[in-house]
């Protein structure tokens, strides 16, 4: 077991002060079960001798108390144990998300969404069994078994030795049986659940394309095949668990026979009485029931170990090549200018390729691809509207991701006169905002999709920013801010999704906005109108706009045009951007580079 897996298993165990109530309640519950059977056996055997009822009063009260205590303590064990475990899971899930956040999105680009979701949800949930089905049951069982065998030893040492031998042999045989029958199934259950969720998510997201090309049936067959493998593994583990329970039940019978044989001479010699003999014969049944928790805990530990490994490897242990790392001592971001300048000198950037395979994301090697940007020189003046154009693969999206520090770079990228690599990437993203080609809209209403950017905004502020992007009338027709947008914006058009994303970016107050292919999902006849609204709304308050597009753009909408080819800036159709800036701002800015 690797160190990250061990660390993840340890992190699943709550601290002792929080888990102790569950352990104590478990000991009391299991102890009540043993004491109930012992007290019942003694009471029945003693009552058969027809003594005065006064001699039975204590046993009668004991039976009632232990019967109630077993149920009450069992409830308290479950209540306190699950409370402690669920609180621990919240911390684990937060930790995974915190590890994931610095790498997103480009450091996780090759991770399968469904499998990552299965690790984040299902595998983390499986870790609750570490305290609930491993630590607490084993501790409780060991304590109760020691006390029970010690109690038998006080009455008949030979019976205690016989019972202990049967339990040791039975537990060992059960563990060997489980290992032979279910170890492979237990190791494949979690990966198979991840694979199944991954293919289901992929199938649902691409369903329209699969139906259009008559490939939906093949996709369903793939899902069914993985589902059948998961079902077989589940049945194999269930069969092994049932067989283990049967073996432990048989061990209880053997323990009874062994205890009977060892204590019968004591009864014949008069060294013990009949009620004591009944206790020695029946208590091993309760002891065997308590001992059955050990094989079940071992099986649960194997499942949890696999899930712990998958959770530990959900995020690469090392930051992949090409993903920015926060500096040890980040400098203060530039302040004072409503829109800082952007200066790129000799910038080179590579996409990170983390190939995870089917087994592990963390074990993947980071492979550096050829440079997507190769020596880019570019200066963007404050408040400028710049168009970056180029064909597919020219490096336009790479440039956008470098500007918002999703990707690392070589060379110099200065933001407001400060080197971007000296800033925390989160600080850069508070200045430079990206509106992606396919903006992510949550399956919520318009209000919640906007409040994601600034949760303190009022409805009037939301309507005002929607009015600036030309959506106020549309929102009114849809019933107001409570109008649903659907999963990933399924209930709105591509242009409306872009406008909502721009409104969200403006609400966040980014001084610099990067619009990556905003008309990719829009009818060409409406593309110019959408671009005009987007650029005017973004630059109205002095924001710098970097518009990335491979489609033709009306020259009147931008101040300057640069062209990317093969990751380099080539001299393109440069407009009189200085005169446009002077006309719009009323003052001439510093002349940017001709690139």
Gap between the Cα atoms of 137 and 290, Å rounded: 9
Report residue 259's pLDDT band, with 50, 70 and 90 as the boundaries.
Answer: very high
> How far, in Å, CA of 294 to CA of 143, rounded?
12
pLDDT higher than 50, residue 590: no
Read off the pLDDT of residues 527-547 as tens digits, 9 standing for 90 and up. Answer: 777 777 777 776 666 788 898
Q: Which pLDDT score, from 0 to 100, does residue 197 have?
A: 87
Q: Which of 71-75, 389-393, 405-409, 564-568 has the highest mean pLDDT?
A: 71-75
d(CA 559, CA 405) in angstroms, rounded, equals: 25
Mean pLDDT on 197-210: 86
pLDDT of 363 > 60? The answer is no
**Is the pLDDT reported for residue 367 higher than 80?**
no
Nearest to 304 by CA among 550, 127, 500: 127
565-580 pLDDT, tens per residue? 887 887 544 444 444 4
The DSSP symbol for 540 reads T
pLDDT confidence bin for 99, thresholds 50/70/90? confident
Task: Give the list of residues 6+ apart from residue 17 with CB closer than 8 angstroms, or none.
Answer: none
pLDDT of residue 525: 67
Written in H, E and C, the secondary structure of 369-383 is EEEEEEEEEEEECCC
Top-confidence residue, 517 or 280: 280
Q: For residue 574, report the phi and psi dihedrals to the nearest 5 degrees.
A: -85, 130
Q: For the chain, give the mean pLDDT.
A: 84
Q: Is the peptide bond before 177 cis (omega within 30 degrees of 0)?
A: no
What was the pLDDT predicted at 35? 94
Contact 36, 66 (CB under 8 A): yes
Residue 58, C-beta contacts closer than 8 angstroms, at least 6 positions apart: none
Give yes or no for a contact between 585 and 337, defined as CB atoms under 8 angstroms apart: no
CATH of domain 342-437+510-585: 3.40.50.300
Q: pLDDT band for 20, please (50, 70, 90 cuts).
A: very high
CA distances to 211, 214, 272 from 208, in Å? 5, 10, 80
Candidates 556, 520, 561; CA nearest to 535 is: 556
CA distance 568 to 386: 16
How many angstroms from the chain centroid is the CA of residue 312? 11
pLDDT at 136: 93
Distance CA(333)–CA(319), nearest Å, equals 23
Query: In this predicted structure, what is the pLDDT of residue 353?
Result: 59
Give the largest Cα separation in the chain, rounded. 117
Answer yes or no: are the C-beta atoms of 445 and 484 closer than 8 Å.
yes
Pairwise pLDDT comparison (593 vs 85), residue with the higher score: 85
What is the per-residue pLDDT for 565?
85
Q: Is the pLDDT of residue 551 over 90?
A: no
* Segment 490-531, tens digit of pLDDT: 888 878 888 888 888 888 888 888 988 887 766 666 677 777
CA distance 395 to 360: 30
373 CB-near residues (< 8 Å, 6+ apart): 347, 348, 349, 395, 398, 399, 402, 409, 567, 568
Q: What pLDDT is attached to residue 362?
A: 40
DSSP state of 593: P
Between CA 287 and CA 242 the distance in angstroms is 19
pLDDT of 593 higher than 50: no
> Is residue 273 pLDDT above 50, yes or no?
yes
Is the bond leading into 105 cis (omega within 30 degrees of zero)? yes
Rounded to an integer, what distance in angstroms lies between the CA atom of residue 423 and that of residue 407?
Answer: 14
Edge-first strand order for the sheet with 410-415 is 366-380, 342-354, 410-415, 418-419
Q: What share of the chain is helix, strand, coil (3-state, %, to 5)?
A: 60, 10, 25
Residue 312 burial (CB < 10 Å; 0-12/13-18/19+)? buried
For the segment 475-485, the average pLDDT, to the nearest whole number, is 89
268: CB partners within 8 A, 6+ apart: none
Contact present, 468 and 537 (Cβ < 8 Å): yes
| Distances, alpha carbon 253 to alpha carbons 286, 529, 540, in Å | 11, 84, 85
| Cα(431)–Cα(449) distance, integer angstroms | 20
CATH superfamily, domain at 3-312:
ABC transporter type 1, transmembrane domain (1.20.1560.10)
pLDDT at 28: 95
Give tens-digit pLDDT for 442-470. 888 899 999 988 888 899 999 988 888 88
pLDDT at 137 exceeding the cut of 90: yes
> Does 342-437+510-585 match 3-312 at the fold level?
no
User: Among residues 47, 23, 259, which one has the least CA distance to residue 148?
Assistant: 259
pLDDT tier, 67 (very low <50, low <70, confident <90, very high otherwise): very high
Say yes or no to pLDDT of 355 above 50. no
More confident residue, 183 or 461: 461
Q: Is the pLDDT of residue 360 over 50?
A: no
Give dist(CA 97, CA 365) in Å, integer: 21
Our measurement of the distance from residue 11's CA atom to the centroid of its chain's CA atoms, rounded to an integer in Å, reads: 15
Strands 410-415 and 342-354: antiparallel
Q: Which of 542, 540, 533, 544 is nearest to 501 (CA)?
A: 533
Distance CA 351, CA 230 (A): 35
* H or E, element range at 96: helix 57-100
The C-alpha atoms of residue 307 and residue 301 are separated, in whole angstroms, by 10
**Distance (Å, rounded) from C-alpha 264 to C-alpha 159?**
10
**Phi/psi class of residue 506: alpha, beta or left (left: φ > 0; alpha: ψ in -120 to 50)?**
alpha
Q: Where are the domains of the chain?
A: 3-312, 342-437+510-585
Strands (E), 284-334: none
Query: Averaged over 166-171, what is the pLDDT?
Result: 92
Which two three-digit tokens encode residue 565? 């080819």
In angstroms, the CA 304 to CA 110 distance is 25
- Using an 8 Å Cβ cutoff, are 75 and 22 in contact? no
Crossing angle between the packed helical segments 494-508 and 459-468, to the nearest 10 degrees: 120
The pLDDT, as a whole number, for residue 397 is: 87
Mean pLDDT of all residues in 471-495: 86
Residue 368: predicted pLDDT? 53
Cα angle 15, 21, 23; round to 5: 85
Mean pLDDT, residues 43-55: 87
The per-residue pLDDT for 312 is 87
DSSP class of residue 594 equals -
Cβ contact 534:499 at 8 Å? yes
The confidence score (pLDDT) of residue 1 equals: 58
């Amino acid at each position: 077991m690797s160190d990250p897996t061990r660390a993840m298993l340890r992190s699943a165990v709550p601290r002792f002060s929080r888990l102790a109530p569950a352990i104590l309640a478990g000991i009391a519950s299991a102890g009540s079960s043993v004491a109930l059977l012992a007290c019942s056996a003694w009471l029945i055997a003693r009552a058969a001798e027809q003594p005065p009822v006064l001699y039975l009063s204590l046993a009668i009260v004991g039976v009632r108390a232990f019967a109630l205590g077993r149920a009450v303590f069992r409830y308290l064990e479950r209540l306190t144990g699950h409370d402690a475990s669920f609180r621990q899971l919240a911390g684990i899930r937060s930790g995974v998300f915190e590890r994931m956040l610095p790498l997103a999105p480009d450091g996780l680009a090759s991770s399968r969404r469904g499998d990552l979701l299965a690790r984040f949800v299902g595998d983390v949930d499986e870790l609750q069994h570490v305290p609930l089905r491993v630590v607490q049951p084993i501790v409780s069982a060991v304590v109760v078994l020691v006390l029970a065998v010690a109690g038998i030893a006080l009455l008949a040492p030979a019976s205690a030795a016989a019972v202990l031998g049967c339990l040791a042999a039975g537990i060992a045989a059960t563990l060997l049986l489980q290992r032979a029958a279910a170890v492979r199934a237990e190791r494949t259950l979690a990966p198979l659940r991840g694979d199944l969720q991954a293919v289901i998510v992929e199938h649902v997201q691409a369903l329209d394309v699969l139906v259009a090309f008559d490939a939906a049936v093949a996709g369903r067959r793939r899902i069914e095949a993985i589902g059948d493998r998961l079902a077989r593994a589940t049945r194999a583990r269930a069969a092994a668990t049932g067989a283990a329970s049967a073996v432990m039940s048989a061990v209880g019978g053997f323990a009874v026979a062994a205890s009977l044989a060892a204590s019968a001479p004591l009864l014949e010699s008069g060294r013990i009485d009949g009620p004591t003999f009944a206790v020695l014969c029946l208590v091993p049944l309760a002891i065997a029931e308590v001992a059955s928790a050990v094989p079940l805990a071992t099986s649960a530990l194997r499942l949890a170990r696999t899930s712990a490994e998958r959770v530990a490897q959900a995020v690469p242990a090392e930051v992949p090549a090409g993903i920015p790392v926060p500096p040890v001592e980040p400098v203060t971001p530039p302040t004072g200018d409503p829109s800082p300048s952007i200066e790129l000198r000799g910038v080179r950037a590579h996409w990170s390729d983390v190939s995870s395979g089917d087994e592990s994301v963390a074990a993947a090697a980071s492979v550096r691809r050829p440079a997507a940007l190769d020596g880019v020189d570019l200066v963007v003046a404050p408040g400028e509207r710049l168009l970056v154009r180029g064909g597919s693969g020219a490096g336009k999206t790479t440039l956008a991701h470098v500007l918002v520090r999703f990707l690392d770079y070589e060379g110099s990228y200065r933001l407001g006169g400060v080197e971007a690599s000296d800033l925390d990437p989160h600080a850069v993203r508070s200045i430079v905002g990206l509106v992606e080609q396919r903006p992510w809209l949550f399956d919520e209403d318009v209000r919640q999709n906007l409040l994601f950017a600034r949760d303190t905004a009022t409805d009037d502020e939301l309507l005002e920013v929607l009015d600036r992007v030309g959506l106020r009338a549309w929102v009114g027709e849809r019933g107001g801010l409570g109008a649903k947008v659907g999963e990933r914006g399924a209930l709105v058009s591509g242009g409306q999704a872009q406008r909502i994303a721009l409104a969200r970016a403006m609400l966040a107050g980014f001084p610099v906005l990067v619009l990556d292919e905003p008309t990719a999902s829009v009818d060409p006849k409406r593309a110019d109108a959408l671009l005009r609204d987007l650029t005017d709304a973004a630059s109205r308050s002095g924001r710098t706009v970097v518009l990335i597009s491979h489609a033709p753009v009306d020259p009147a909408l931008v101040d300057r045009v640069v062209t990317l080819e093969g990751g380099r800036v080539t001299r393109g159709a440069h407009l009189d951007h200085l005169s446009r800036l002077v006309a719009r701002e009323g003052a001439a800015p510093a002349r940017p580079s001709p690139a």
